Chains A and B, each alone.
Chain A
Amino acid sequence: MPDIVAYLIEKNLVTVGIFGVVLGVVALLTYGERKVAGWMQDRNGPNRAGPFGIFQVVADGVKFFAKEEFIPDRANKWLFVMAPTFTFIAAGTIMAVIPFGDRIVVGGREILLQIADVNIGVLYILAIGSLSVYGIIAGGWASNNKYSLMGGLRASSQMISYEIAMGLAIVALIMDHGSFSLRAIVLDQAGPIWNWSVFTHPIGFLIFYVAAFAEAGRIPFDLPEAENELVGGYHTEYSSMKFGLFMFGEYTHFTLASGIIATLYFGGWTIPWVMPPETPGILWGLLSFVVFWIKALFFVFVFMWVRWTLPRFRYDQLMGLGWKRMIPLGIFNIVLTGGLILAFEAWGIAEFTIGIFIAAIVLTGLLIVIFDALSPKETRATHVAGSEKV
């Protein structure tokens, strides 16, 4: 009996701890985003509330709660109220399987710095990660506003298109690591830096990263909320904390997406050339936790960096990139990875090493050059206007 009690206490502590840390980081990121935006535009960003403007987070939160809560006249009230919550919950649930750190051995008990080490963790991420779009569609539809509905529709079709590319990128990754468990994938990447999947799956990483942008609905794929076309997209009619939840959900989504990228492609909590010890203490646990966040926050920064660099895609360009480029490339990546694994086994090279990086880059480059030579000449006019032939 006490075993179960101890287990429950331990799991609850870990869950609450991770939840708190993630929400804290996400809250700070709303400030971080504005700061990064400012710096990239030669401004200072918020710097009035508290030291370096850090209390801007509090000010924003208070503002959200103090604003008028508006529900449109003929909106579907239930769905309208539930939609932001659903988006936020679906985005936040992803954190359950992300390995935030290594295990800690305390008093003979082994505590995992991860809410649940599910053996189908990657599938769980794919399944739950795209659920948040339901909140967006529901919110867009329930608003009884054509712009909101358009935003919701765009979000759903974008999610469907890029989900496939993301899945294809992951298939190649799973073929290499041989497990769906995120912890197993991380442990497989421990050791020298070229063990990181980004070096063995450069093409897969590219596809996954671009798809992650689309999934999180960030610029250049933020068509669901394209301000200059759809007013505010799916959150046009939302105000006060309901809008705040939508925004918070988006931030949670891309923070966790960064965590997933760090986990799948950049070794998660592992430190290059350092193997995790047999009986890890609390210090090692903390270190792995910090290393994970350093990697994840770097990708968060790249998310922001891209946001303040690239313009938004046009809708047909978005679909063209998803279906005509990313998905074929993803399929090619699977074939390539499978072939290279077989070839390396046949040549007796056990480790899937840096050679595969060069091979993948060269072969993919070759493929792109051949396809470019074979395909009809694309003019700037057709490129800009979509499908019409000049």
Chain B
Amino acid sequence: MAADTVAKKKNPNDPFRKYDLTLAEKLYLPAISKGMAVTLSHFFQKKVTMQYPEEKPEVSHRWRGRHVLKRDEYGRERCVGCQMCELACPADAITIQAGEVPPERRHLHTTERYAVIYELDMLRCIYCGLCEEACPEAAIYLTPFYEFVEDSREKLIYTKEMLTEKTGGPIFYKD
């Protein structure tokens, strides 16, 4: 009993207090009107939904999306098929078969070694960016492009032709 009287002295505004509901609390109505006011204020508030296909979020330029294989200033493929990215890839998404550059295509490559096959499984890839870090030739980069949806698994295994950029140029580091 003594404990009860002590508890009664506590702050009536404390919602977790144990004893003595006030009359207003027992009537429910003040609490209900307070809640209704909150929902009505949200009714007129600006909506937060982004209408996705029409309206797109701005992503960081460091966003890790679809990969690109770079070319250098002379339009040569930077990738030399060293398989460092394949080794670094934690998801085993990259498959590379290296080969020797035929003499008639020598002007398209920086060295005599190149990737004959460069396949990147976009479904296996976890977009961690370790390939980008591992690459000694600054050949592979992850881009902010993220909309690549297909209706089959096969279509999402990207080949070297799909990944390599069409024209070359110096690499600008934005940050």
Contact = CB atoms under 8 A, between A and B. Distances in A.
Contacts, number: 61
A42 interface: yes
Interface string B4-38: 00000000000001111101001100001001101
B42 A41 contact: yes
Interface string A164-207: 00000000000000000000000000000000000000000000
B32 A310 contact: yes
Q: Which of B26, B44, B45 has the most CB of A within 10 A?
A: B26
Contacts of B47: 38-39, 42-44
B26 A306 contact: no
A382 to B, nearest CB: 9
A368 interface: yes
B152 interface: no
A58 interface: no
B39 A305 contact: yes
A380 B49 contact: no
B11 to A, nearest CB: 13
Q: Which of A43, A379, A381 has the most CB of B within 10 A?
A: A379
A377 interface: yes
B43 A369 contact: no
Contacts of B38: 309
B18 A309 contact: no
B2 interface: no
A380 B43 contact: no
B20 A379 contact: yes
Nearest to B36: A309
Contacts of B27: 368
Contacts of A378: 20-21, 26
A102 B47 CA distance: 41
A309 B23 CA distance: 22
A235 B79 CA distance: 63
A309 B51 CA distance: 26
B21 A383 contact: yes
A40 interface: yes
A229 interface: no
A372 B25 CA distance: 12
A377 B19 contact: yes
B39 A308 contact: yes
Contacts of A381: 18-19
A36 interface: yes
Contact of B36 (A36, A38, A305, A383): A305
18 contacts: A38-B47, A39-B43, A39-B47, A40-B42, A309-B32, A309-B36, A309-B38, A310-B32, A310-B35, A372-B23, A379-B18, A379-B19, A379-B20, A380-B17, A380-B18, A380-B20, A381-B19, A383-B21
Interface of B: 17-21, 23, 26-27, 32, 35-36, 38-40, 42-49, 51
Interface of A: 36, 38-44, 47, 305-306, 308-310, 368-369, 372, 377-381, 383, 390
Top 6 A-B pairs, shortest CB-CB distance: A309-B39, A309-B35, A379-B19, A44-B49, A40-B39, A39-B43
